[in-house]
Chain A
Amino acid sequence: MATLHTVNKSPFQNQTLISCLGHAKAGDSVLLIEDGVYGAMSGNAMSEVVAGMGANVKLFVLGADMKARGIDAARMAGGFTSVDYEGFVDMAASCDRVQNWL
């Protein structure tokens, strides 16, 4: 039943993350990768929007992409779980479909 959604664009660049969260169903997983990881930071203009719209989905962020951009784990917003590449593969394998929001 569940979908894994991936988002690879910064929420400050365009509306992709907002659109993803607006269409995801309760219980789906949303994984932020590449420039999408900026959407997993606390204390910025998008944090409350993401927390509100993402309340019914499971929020994940690819740790390697956060580290690459110098985002300390302490800046990760509550509600997000960090996963590694293996975790990413496991999520893709265990869900019914993957939807990449380009």
Chain B
Amino acid sequence: MSEVIKKFLYVNRKAPYGTIYAQEALEVVLIGAAFDQDVSLAFLDDGVFQLTKGQDTKETGLKNFSPTFRALGDYEVTKLYVEQESLDERGLTLDDLQDIQYEDEDDDYAEKPSIIVVSRARMGEVMADQDVILSF
């Protein structure tokens, strides 16, 4: 495996079920997690809708992939940046989102939140700090 660890950011800007982008992004993140890189996810614009709790796709016949976000911590994907302005514009708060946690192996496996709410300005800085950006 490559010894150079790069910072990868997966940018999610689309709502979950209208197109396949969101589900495909999650698939790519899970595959990419095998490569031991420094992975972060960004959720902005309609992408914040991907993280809402209570998604129930039964009547549509579509796969509800939202529980997968809660498994990301097991793949050492522990930084989910969510944009405050995007939440505000859509009338959402952190309470509307799933409680996504990871176990911090450096802190006696304490459970810690994976979601990091950031301003639009801070999101721009997070993007500018990456080696590779993959958009969905």
Interface set of A (CB-CB < 8 Å, partner B): 1, 3, 15-16, 19, 22-25, 28, 97-102
The answer to the question of B128 belonging to the interface, with a C-beta cut-off of 8 Å to chain A, is: yes
Interface segment among B65-73, B109-117, B119-127: the answer is B119-127
* Bound-state Cα–Cα, A95 to B48, Å: 29
Minimum distance in angstroms from B33 CB to a CB of chain A: 20
Instruction: Give the complex CA separation of A62 and B13 in angstroms.
Output: 24
Q: Is the interface of A mostly helix, strand, loop or mixed?
A: mixed
Contact residue among A15, A24, A102 (Cβ-Cβ distance under 8 Å from B135): A102
Given known pairs A19-B44, A23-B124, the reply for A97 and B135 (CB within 8 Å) is no
Taken together as a complex, chains A and B put the C-alpha atoms of A38 and B133 apart, in Å, by: 25
How many residues on B have C-beta within 8 angstroms of the other chain's C-beta atoms?
A: 17
| Cross-chain contact B127 with A99 (CB below 8 angstroms) | yes
Q: Are B45 and A99 in contact (CB under 8 A)?
A: no
Contact B135 A99 (CB under 8 A): yes
Within 8 A of A (CB), among B43-65: 44-45
Q: In whole angstroms, what is the CA distance A1 to B129 when docked?
A: 8
Additional A-B contacts beyond A15-B45, A100-B135 (9; CB < 8 A): A19-B44, A19-B45, A23-B123, A25-B124, A97-B131, A100-B133, A101-B135, A102-B21, A102-B135
